[in-house]
Amino acid sequence: VCRDFAHLMIALCRAVNLPARMVSGMDYGADPALGPPDFHAYVEVYLTDTFGVGRWYMFDPSGTAIPMSFVRFCTGRDAADIAFATIFGNGNAAQPVISIQAVPDAYGQLVLPQHVGYALSTDGT
């Protein structure tokens, strides 16, 4: 479902000449009521300010995840660019094991993931 919402948002952004791309990964701080962490698709849109300075901003068009806790795996034009796995022939898949450890900030505090009502800049500026 999140991938479908992401594709729709990307198409709508591109229709009005806003550069957009799909990002996939995992939310490590997702709501426990939704079940264990799972792969999720986000959209990044390149927006410029009044001075022409631009940056990528992350959006969750499905509204079901927490961008602050996102661990990026892939970035591409759409889902075809960022497949989690492509298997040719016979193969056995094993459940992946992913370990994530919180790191305290400069004040020794852990920043807990939380829902936010705004987009997050994802280019480090």
pTM: 0.73
Give pLDDT tens digits for 12-60: 999 999 999 999 988 776 555 656 667 889 999 999 989 989 999 988 8
CATH code reported for the domain at 2-83+97-121: 3.10.620.30
CA distance 36 to 59: 21
State the pLDDT at residue 64. Answer: 78
**Contact (Cβ atoms closer than 8 angstroms) between residue 48 and residue 92:** no
Predicted local confidence at residue 22, as pLDDT: 96
Domain range list for the chain: 2-83+97-121
Residue 79: CB atoms within 10 Å? 17
pLDDT range class, residue 114, cuts 50, 70, 90: low
